[in-house]
Structure 1
Amino acid sequence: MPQKVGTISRGLIAPIVHAGDDIAAIAVETLLSAAASEGFAIQDRDILAVTESVVARAQGNYATVDQIAADIRKKFGNEHIALIFPILSRNRFAICLEGIAKAGNQLTIVLSYPADEVGNRLMDPNAGKAEAVNPWTDSFTADSFIQHFGSYKHPFTGIDYIAYYQSIIKKYNQHSSILLANDPCAALNITKYVLACDIHTREHTKQSLKDHGAVCVYGLDEILTESVDGSGYNSCYGLLGSNKATESSVKLFPNDCQALVEKMQVMLKEKTGKTVEVLVYGDGAFKDPVGKIWELADPVVSPGFTKGLAGTPHEVKLKYLADNNFKHLSAEAQYEAMVRYIDEHKKNAQSSLIDQGEAEGTTPRQLTDLIGSLCDLTSGSGDKGTPIIFIQNYFKKFGE
């Protein structure tokens, strides 16, 4: 009898995690307790996922604004710094900006318009339509931008981010300012010392700045890559992926996630006899159709995952098979033909037994991006108390 239930995603309620806790033991015990309590069996190729937030908490991976300021002074001295393309976020960037500004340097923040990298808008989409503006070349001071397009409050947060970021940087240096531009090299007319604050486009931005004469270029991924005055750090991503922890500190993206997931997989094998795939997940990779915000503000969806989660799905489109290959068959015969076809396709996953139509419309993203997004949507970011996710049947095919 084929199974009647497909993918199942469970949010597992976990204890509050503190610095120094053994997050691997907590996650494994949470799963085992939930399975015993709820009566589900753990199987091979199930997936256990832990949010990066509790991993970083267990690692005690925090830094203060003073420690951020110290690293800025170490890297830039007293130079005037341009901050290129930060996202508009109180949680993700404003607290980092507080630390950068606290170093005391004159700053010029270059904000992209009409929106930041992840879709947060700086202007009404209908504003300035009569203006002869070329967004690829035209730049504006904060005052001239407001004159052209009006002031704007984010529809979700109610924050005017131009005014908000100005209030932070001017608190530490009255000469600091904001420039609106989509060409990162516009900053080089002001200073040759640059901190690239974008996330997914950062390497392109840094290279472009270097090619056009920047003297000193760092990215947020190069701030706090090692401990500063006893701070936490992230050797791969620096300040990228950090979140506001308190009014004067951030929680950084976790370290050593690959070793962690492999340890958890071994623990689960010892306790259950099953090979469970494991990943650490952060933001999902999806876009809000109303606010136009792309969720992924972390540098990656998953900073660590077991080898069974590498690669992309290898799938066929059931509705295409139903409408084309097997449309002439009865319902029962069509079911049996599809099951046979999928079974053969799975056995020959490394070869190309399907034409483009049969695969067209299947999602060509990395498994970790898809699964991490499912985990993020399941756990949420508020008060559900489910930072550990258990997924079953994800790799099961139709008819199994």
Structure 2
Amino acid sequence: MTDQSALLSASCEKTGAEPDLVAALREKAAALGFDAVAIAPPDLPPETGARLRDFLVQGLHGDMGWLADRPERRTSPCGLWADVRAVVMLGANYGPGHDPRALQAQKDRAAISVYARGDDYHDVIKPRLKELARWLIGSAGGDAKVFVDTAAVMEKPLAMRAGLGWQGKHTNLVSRDLGSWLFLGALFTTLPLPPDPPGRDHCGSCKACLDACPTKAFPAPWRLDPRRCVSYLTIEHKGSIPRDLRPLIGNRVYGCDDCLAACPWNKFARMGRDAKLSARDELTGPALAELAKLDDAAFRALFRKTAVKRVGREKFLRNVMIAIGNSGDPSLVPAAEARLTDAAAPVRGAAVWALSKLLPERDLSALAERHRGENDPTVRDEWRAALRSDEG
């Protein structure tokens, strides 16, 4: 045992028996608004690192370059912080009181992922983690670091290691008590807290989540190709969305809940109780026509404090144009046409595509003639593709 470990053990003894400390930790976490808490050892199975390396070698991370930045730090908590002796994994339930997929039938409305309809979970959960860390240090000594999806931490494998649940075939964490609706946070500590039993897979032969994916982004169970995932395409992907995937996105303008919502374990989940994480009424099915009008100031005001704000107006309006094109609603033509002069080329290009789906050939050709002065090569390519489609 190292001198540091001896000091940590003495610190635990000084503040009380370990079971008492862990019980108090769970009680404090619940008081701070966490719905689940469990402890993992500071390591991950070797296959976790092997899967990550294979994922990166295949280029499946797409535009998410940060995933390829020093991947060795992700494969073990000790790679991120050598002094860590235990990882406290915490979950906050954001379960909706309805099936979010119902919005997809309202073609003139926008479907925003449930997690992004309330305050940004990073900003809500991190202060609570910091408070929990301060409490732990004050109660038992040692040191601590907290993470909420912003560092080289593999939260889902660690949550399974801690016993919060298991990674379903959709690669997300599933809890027997809370279904697929959990925000995760991690508290690394130098205290040698006793680990909980790891989670066990309870998916069985079910593949409802895989079948629910609109873009068939799962080449196999437990394997996701983010480059086809609607969440990746509408949030992480830069520039124009591949044309063959656009019709499959439907009216999803930010993220996708389909694989999560399809999980049968959700029937045991209760509705999220945290008001800050709860959906705002104005973000539950907003009208596409209104979203298409947003300038930068209006975009920032509407999505204040939410995760959507971080994606920026340009990507978001690009997604809105795709949704308008998928609506089949000619009344939305003016909303798309107004974006043909937008300052952002990806928005103009997506508007061209939307209009190609809503306008008859003659009207589209006349509109193209009026915009012959377009100087961005990607947007000109959208016009050529749209007119060729009409000719075909």
TM-score normalized by the length of structure 2: 0.22
| Larger fraction in strand | 1
| Larger fraction in helix | 2
The structure whose RCO (Cα within 8 Å, separation 6+) is larger is: 1
